[in-house]
């Protein structure tokens, strides 16, 4: 698969623009809409460790988690749905 094709399977999700009280519901909704092989590129202002635990419990082995950037104030994580 070429790099250009793989970019079509990456969907951005910037949590910083979602009201805090709606974030987890929005993130879970976005994750549930992904198909096998698709990735949600998640951006946040803090490391969402409780959220990661919740996602792992909900999706188990079907979820791949890969930090792209992990710096104070800027967290970027790829959540990939495995087939």
Across the chain, which distance is largest between two alpha carbons, in Å? Answer: 38
The per-residue pLDDT for 8 is 72
The per-residue pLDDT for 83 is 82
3-state secondary structure of 47: coil
11-63: pLDDT as tens digits: 999 999 999 999 999 999 999 999 999 999 999 999 999 999 999 999 999 99
């Amino acid at each position: 698969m070429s790099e250009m094709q793989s970019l079509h399977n990456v969907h951005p999700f910037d949590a910083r623009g979602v009201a805090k009280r709606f974030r987890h519901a929005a993130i879970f909704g976005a994750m549930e809409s992904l198909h096998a092989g698709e990735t949600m590129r998640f951006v946040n202002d803090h490391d969402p460790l409780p959220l990661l635990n919740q996602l792992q419990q909900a999706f188990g082995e079907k979820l791949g988690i890969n930090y792209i950037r992990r710096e104070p104030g800027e967290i970027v994580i790829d959540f990939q749905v495995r087939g």
